[in-house]
Amino acid sequence: MSRNPARRRASVLAALASGALAVALLQATPPAAGDEALPYQDPDLPTAQRVTDLLGRMTLAEKIGQMTQAERIDVDADPSLITANALGSVLSGGGSVPSDNTPEAWADMVDRYQEAALDTRLGIPLIYGVDSVHGHGNLQGATVFPHNIGLGATRDPKLVERIGHITAEETRASGPQWAFAPCICVARDDRWGRTYESFGETPRLVKSMETVIDGLQGRPGQLDDADRVLASAKHFAGDGLTTYDESAAGTGAYPIDQGIARVSRKEFDKLALSPYVPAVKKHRVGSVMPSFSSTDFNGGSTADAVKMHANKQLITGWLKNQQHFKGFVISDWRAIRQLPGDYRAQVKASVLAGVDMFMEPIQAPNNPNGWDVFIPTLTDLVGTGEVPMSRIDDAVARILKAKFDLGLFEHPLTDRSNLDQVGSKAHRAVARRAVAESQVLLRNKQATLPLRAKDKVYVAGSNADNIGNQAGGWTLTWQGGSTNVIPGQTVLDGIERAAKGDVVYSEKATERVPRKAVGVVVVGETPYAEGFGDVGGPQWAYDPGDNGQPRQKQTMEISEADKQAIRTVCARTTSCTVLVVSGRPLIVPPGLLNQIDALVASWLPGSEGGGVADVLYGRSPFIGKLPVTWPRTVAQEPINVGDASYDPLYRYGYGLSTRR
Instruction: For residue 566, give the amino acid letter.
Output: I
Q: Is the dihedral of CA 358, 149, 325, 123 positive or negative?
A: negative
Strands (E) in 400-506, as ranges, are 440-444, 457-460, 503-505
Per the residue annotation, which of 170, 332, 562, 637 is the catalytic one?
332
Q: What 3-state class would DSSP assign to 521?
A: strand
Distance, in Å, from the CA atom of 460 to the CA atom of 224, rounded to the nearest integer, reads 48
Helix and strand element counts for the chain (H, E): 23, 17
Check if 530 is active-site. yes
Provide, for the chain, the percentages of residues in helix, strand and coil under a 3-state DSSP scheme, each rounded to the nearest 5: 40, 10, 50
CA distances from 505 to 111, 369, 565, 609 (A): 46, 50, 12, 16
Distance, in Å, from the CA atom of 67 to the CA atom of 63, rounded to the nearest integer, reads 7
Q: What 3-state class would DSSP assign to 143?
A: coil
Instruction: For residue 488, give the amino acid letter.
Output: G
Distance, in Å, from the CA atom of 391 to the CA atom of 64, rounded to the nearest integer, reads 11
CA-wise closest residue to 68 among 403, 395, 410:
395
Length of the chain, in residues:
660
CA-wise closest residue to 10 among 115, 88, 90:
115
CA-wise closest residue to 45 among 411, 409, 415, 412:
409
Other residues' Cβ atoms within 10 Å of the Cβ of residue 446: 7
Render 149-170 in DSSP notation, one character per residue. Answer: HHHHHHT-HHHHHHHHHHHHHH
Per the residue annotation, which of 201, 239, 465, 530 is the catalytic one?
530
Q: DSSP class of residue 40?
A: G
Distance, in Å, from the CA atom of 558 to the CA atom of 44, rounded to the nearest integer, reads 60
Cβ density class 101-134: b for 16+ within 10 Å, e for less: ebbebbbbbbbbbbbbbbbbbbbbbbbbbbbbbb
Residues designated as active site: 332, 530
